[in-house]
């Protein structure tokens, strides 16, 4: 792994977008799994529900890291029911300080009906001011597209997320158009 790649965990793996508009929150992700310049799989599910279906997460990074972090987040949600931010902060503390976890290179989007957060292994737990988050190699493309589409009155959160993902898939070689969408 090059020095540049290791400084940007999860940037060459996928695209995940979260859009919050009105009472809806949507998380969408593409299905491409790449190793270098080779596509290994086109239909991976990188967006999942946790916490009895009340939490949606999206993940950019290595697959094994994803499963580890999903399990840890599920445990934090059980320890802090109804407190998404606290559960995420507790996971971020562990992720940053635990000898094993701090080696995981990833970014996560975590949303419930009220809160949208981006989490990283450097201890970041950030709630965006506009309710839109993009992560992964095509994340900035999807984020830009979603922001541009947001004020369209005829588009809801799901429409915006899908269109933003389509735009990112047309630009980023690590993103495909096999999109999984979860909505609260």
Domains of the chain with bracketed CATH: 3-183 (3.60.20.10)
Which tops the pLDDT comparison, 52 or 17?
A: 17
User: Which of the residues are catalytic?
Assistant: 14
pLDDT score recorded for residue 89: 96
Average pLDDT (152-162) is: 97
Question: What SS3 state is found at 84?
Answer: helix
Contact criterion met (CB below 8 Å) for 47 and 178: no
- Enter the pTM of the model: 0.90
pLDDT tens-place string over residues 62-88: 888 888 899 999 999 999 999 999 999
Q: What is the reported pLDDT for 12? A: 54
Please state whether 52 falls in left (phi above 0), alpha (psi between -120 and 50) or beta: left
* Predicted pLDDT of residue 96: 87
What pLDDT does residue 9 have?
A: 42
- Cα–Cα distance for residue pair 173/19, rounded to 1 Å: 22
Per-residue pLDDT at 1: 40
Residue 59 confidence class, pLDDT cut points 50, 70, 90: very high
- Supply the mean pLDDT for the chain: 90
Return the percentage of the chain with pLDDT > 70, whole number.
Answer: 93
């Amino acid at each position: 792994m090059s020095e540049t790649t290791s400084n940007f965990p999860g940037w060459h793996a996928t695209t995940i977008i979260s859009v919050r508009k009105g009472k809806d929150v949507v998380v969408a992700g593409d299905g491409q799994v790449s190793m270098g310049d080779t596509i290994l799989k086109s239909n991976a599910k990188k967006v999942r529900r946790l916490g009895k279906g009340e939490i949606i997460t999206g993940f950019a990074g290595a697959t094994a890291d994803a499963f580890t972090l999903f399990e840890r987040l599920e445990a934090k949600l059980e320890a802090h029911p109804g407190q998404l931010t606290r559960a995420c902060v507790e996971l971020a503390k562990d992720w940053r300080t635990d000898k094993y976890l701090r080696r995981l290179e990833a970014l996560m989007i975590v949303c419930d009906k009220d809160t949208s957060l981006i989490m990283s292994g450097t201890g970041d737990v950030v709630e965006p001011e506009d309710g839109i988050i993009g992560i992964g190699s095509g994340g900035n493309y999807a984020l830009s597209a979603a922001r541009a589409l947001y004020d369209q009155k005829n588009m809801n959160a799901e429409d915006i997320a899908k269109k933003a993902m389509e735009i990112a898939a047309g630009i980023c070689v690590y993103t495909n158009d096999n999109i999984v969408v979860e909505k609260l």
